[in-house]
């Protein structure tokens, strides 16, 4: 597994490298201290995951994430940030981040979050569970370790859910699965209905609450 850590603090990069090494001793961990260097590395080599700080020099807040998602929409990105307010978390999820890990998280939480993420799951901190007053909470009940088949999803819908949780828009989901964009929209609507939610961000939160296992390639 090849992972890119984007952070301008050497101690944070070192700590993340050690944590990733505990999860997989064969992990190839590379780092970049700013967005431009990270974008250049992503262009040169294929990464399985990007761990991105939101406090990079020269960009503000989620701009770095937005540029990554626009340039490399197929590349999974997880935010690792000192800002852990619900607005920052929601903004990151809205832009397609696979998950959000606060830098204030302890070692055990960090390792657990990384283990979940590298196995194909999603990690959402408790702050994200606090819904805004104008946003209805996901109706999906709390559960543990459920699979997509238990939600009544077809194999194709499971594939759509997997891509949706990676932040891919409908156009790229359609391209990846070789289906029409309209068909992709229909599948996305069915997936949201199965999760009892109405938005992609709520789907990510619901999947985290369910401990959802995406038993698809």
59-91 pLDDT, tens digit per residue, is 877 889 988 888 888 788 899 888 777 778 888
pLDDT for residue 146: 57
Strand ranges, E, within the chain: 2-6, 28-32, 49-52, 77-81, 99-102
Which residue in this structure is represented by tokens 């979940």?
116
C-beta separation of 200 from 160 below 8 A: no
CATH of segment(s) 148-210: 1.10.10.10
Query: Can you give the length of the chain in residues?
Result: 217
Q: According to the model, what pLDDT value does residue 148 have?
A: 65
**At residue 200, what are phi and psi to the nearest 5 degrees?**
-65, -40
* Lowest mean pLDDT segment, chosen from 54-68, 82-96, 129-143, 191-205: 129-143
Please give the share of the chain, as a percent, with pLDDT higher than 70. 84
| CATH class of this structure's domain 2-129 | alpha beta
CB 112 within 8 A of CB 87: no
Nearest one of 171, 1, 178, 211 to 73, comparing CA atoms: 171
Torsion of CA 138, 166, 89, 197, to 10 degrees: -10
Across 10-31, average pLDDT:
86
Q: Is the pLDDT of residue 47 over 70?
A: yes
34 in Cβ contact with 58 (< 8 Å): yes
Banded model confidence at residue 130, pLDDT cuts 50, 70, 90: low
CA angle 105, 102, 53 (to 5 degrees): 130
**Domain definitions of the chain by residue range:** 2-129, 148-210
């Amino acid at each position: 597994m090849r992972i890119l850590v984007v952070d301008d603090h050497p101690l944070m990069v070192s700590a993340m490298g050690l944590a990733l090494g505990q999860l997989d001793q064969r992990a190839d961990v590379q780092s970049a201290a700013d967005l431009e260097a990270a974008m250049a590395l992503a262009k040169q080599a294929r990464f399985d995951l990007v761990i991105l700080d939101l406090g990079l020099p020269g960009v503000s807040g989620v701009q770095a994430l937005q540029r990554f998602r626009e340039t490399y929409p197929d590349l999974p990105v997880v935010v690792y940030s000192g800002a852990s307010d619900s607005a920052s978390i929601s903004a990151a999820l809205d832009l397609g981040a696979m998950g959000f890990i606060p830098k204030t998280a302890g070692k055990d939480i960090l390792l657990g979050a990384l283990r979940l993420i590298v196995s194909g799951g999603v990690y959402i901190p408790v702050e994200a569970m606090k819904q805004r007053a104008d946003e209805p909470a996901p109706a999906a009940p709390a559960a543990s370790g459920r699979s997509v088949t238990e939600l009544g999803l077809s194999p194709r819908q499971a594939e759509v859910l997997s891509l949706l949780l990676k932040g891919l828009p409908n156009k790229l989901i359609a391209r990846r699965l070789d289906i029409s964009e309209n068909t992709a929209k229909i599948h996305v609507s069915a997936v949201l209905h199965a999760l009892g939610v109405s938005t992609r961000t709520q789907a990510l939160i619901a999947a985290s609450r369910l401990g959802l296992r995406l038993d698809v390639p």
